[in-house]
Chains A and B, each alone.
Chain A
Amino acid sequence: MSNERGRHVIPGEVITSGNYRSEQNTFMEGDKIISTVIGLSDIRDDGVRVIPLTGGYIPKDDDLVIGKVVSHSAMSWLVNINSCYDGMLPASDVFGRDFSSHSDDLTSKLDTGDLIAARIVNSDRTRDPLLTISGRELGKIDSGELMHISPSKVPRLIGKRGSMIQMIENATNANITIGQNGLLIITADDSNGLIKAINAIQLIEEKAHVANLTDKINEMLESKSE
């Protein structure tokens, strides 16, 4: 059974048949393994999956996400994390275990519209995913440029062991925080660097499925601007 990747598939297309395991974004019909989404098929060690080119973000434990506070109750904030489920950030995560809804005012720390970098703590689909902002590099975001890309393109943006994103950061002197949910924050001192970083990210989103993308991005970053 050979490994194979990168065949274009759409929902309903048969990827292969025989002694294979059906993994993400596929299902079995008889002995055929069929794609359920638009994407690139990936056969590895007898397992068949499809890397999707569409679709929203599905919360997973430990993912770093960028979220936007949309409302709050007495005990928690509701956070839009660009997913079909809104995240919940308990007040105790910010105020500590002695949190008291009488004396501690939630809006003093986070208000509607505020952006946060958070981690998913418990994503069980029977209830809203739980978030935390206590941790290194987590918390309220006060500055920077917010960008949206399709969550399915995030792995391509990060690259193998972070190679793609590091290449962009080095070439533009920008700091880029990538949420697995497709939201990113870019901070750069130099506006040229900022624009270059934004352009590079947009190019990756457009051409995520193209081969030799790394070369194209490199070219773009090295060209002198203006």
Chain B
Amino acid sequence: MASSVIIDSLKKAHILELLADGKRLDGRSLEQTRELSIDVGVIPKAEGSARVRLGDTEVVAGVKVKPEKPFPDTGDQGMLICTAEILPIAHPTAETGPPTPDVVELARVTDRGIRESKMLDMKQLVLEKDKSVIGVFCDNAVTDHDGNLFDVCSYATTAALISCKLPKYEMQDDLPVKIENETIDPPITTIPISVTMARIGDNILVDPNMDEWSCLDARITITTNSDGNVVALQKGGPGGFTYDQLIKCAEISIQVGSKIREIMKEATKGSN
């Protein structure tokens, strides 16, 4: 662990002092997220892409599409695989080499949030049942890390998928052939939005930055869909939550989630 990332005692003391007054070091209220910006189409050669900035955290996501053989038990559905990687440029402690458990968790939580929300209607991504389906890959690359990678990767993936253009394929002699210059809009059914909260003492903070992440007792990421239903949950951190805290977190994630959903719609407007 690089010595630069240990939080200093003055800062930690400040964070706790301010929380006693319901305030945060960067001036936000407990339920306020940092400034969010979503830009789509930043990698024009990919089928879909988005760059999301939440405060100083930044992620670039790219969507690549190609025909695949379906999984044996789901021959009537397309394939969706989401990954996440913390690039070594993103943080002094980010390493190259096989992913650490933190990174594996990030990738799997991102993938689950998108998959379980059923945001893409996979049944519409079949070219020939049991033989050939459309495989959609969304890869997230974290380029700058200032805490809360779960939400930023989730927003980047969602924005890239909503705004992507799927190539059109036709089956010719049992093989999928790409039709040049023709695309289809992705079959989007809902817009999942994740909200990550940290518990520090008895306080619940939305969108913890790196400093707050370093002194949290526990954290939870809750993903809701456009109907306000909960579609994914992940608790992390060394401490626990009480029942009341978990109810409060769910309420916050629905409220904050719907505000962010409006930002997402605005950013991807006009794409699909």
Interface residues of A (CB under 8 A from B): 68, 70-71, 78, 80, 82, 86, 111-115, 141, 143-146
What is the distance, in angstroms, from B94's C-beta to the closest C-beta of chain A?
18
CA distance A43 to B4 in the complex (A): 36
CA distance A204 to B164 in the complex (A): 45
- A86 proximity list for chain B (CB < 8 A): 3
* CB–CB A80/B4 < 8 A: yes
* CB–CB B10/A80 < 8 A: no
B11 contacts chain A at the CB level, 8 A cutoff: yes
* CB–CB A80/B6 < 8 A: yes
* CB–CB B7/A113 < 8 A: yes
Nearest residue (CB) in B for A86 is B3
What is the distance, in angstroms, from A57's C-beta to the closest C-beta of chain B?
12
- A78 proximity list for chain B (CB < 8 A): 3
- B4 proximity list for chain A (CB < 8 A): 80, 82
CA distance A141 to B8 in the complex (A): 11
- B3 proximity list for chain A (CB < 8 A): 68, 70-71, 78, 80, 86
Kindly identify which residue among A70, A111, A112, A115 contacts B10, using a CB–CB cutoff of 8 Å. A115
Kindly identify which residue among A71, A80, A112, A146 contacts B11, using a CB–CB cutoff of 8 Å. A146
- A144 proximity list for chain B (CB < 8 A): 10
How many positions in chain B have a CB within 8 Å of any CB in the partner chain? 9
* CB–CB B6/A143 < 8 A: no
B242 contacts chain A at the CB level, 8 A cutoff: no
Q: Mark B1-36, 1 if CB is under 8 A from A, else 0.
A: 001101111111000000000000000000000000
Q: Which 9 A-B pairs have the closest CB atoms?
A: A70-B3, A80-B3, A113-B9, A68-B8, A70-B6, A114-B9, A115-B8, A146-B10, A113-B8
- Chain B binding site: helix, strand, loop or mixed by DSSP? helix
CA distance A38 to B7 in the complex (A): 31
- B8 proximity list for chain A (CB < 8 A): 68, 113-115, 146
CA distance A144 to B11 in the complex (A): 9
- B7 proximity list for chain A (CB < 8 A): 113
Given A113-B6, A113-B8, 12 other A-B residues pairs in contact with their CB atoms under 8 A: A68-B3, A68-B6, A68-B8, A86-B3, A111-B9, A112-B6, A113-B7, A113-B9, A113-B12, A114-B8, A115-B10, A146-B8
CA distance A212 to B68 in the complex (A): 65
CA distance A96 to B209 in the complex (A): 41
CA distance A115 to B13 in the complex (A): 12
- B6 proximity list for chain A (CB < 8 A): 68, 70, 80, 112-113
CA distance A80 to B6 in the complex (A): 9
CA distance A71 to B4 in the complex (A): 12
CA distance A113 to B4 in the complex (A): 10
CA distance A82 to B92 in the complex (A): 13
- A71 proximity list for chain B (CB < 8 A): 3
- A115 proximity list for chain B (CB < 8 A): 8-10
8 interchain pairs, CB-CB under 8 A: A68-B6, A80-B3, A80-B4, A111-B9, A113-B12, A115-B8, A144-B10, A145-B10
CA distance A141 to B7 in the complex (A): 14
What is the distance, in angstroms, from A205's C-beta to the closest C-beta of chain B?
17
Nearest residue (CB) in B for A183 is B8
Nearest residue (CB) in B for A143 is B10
- A112 proximity list for chain B (CB < 8 A): 6
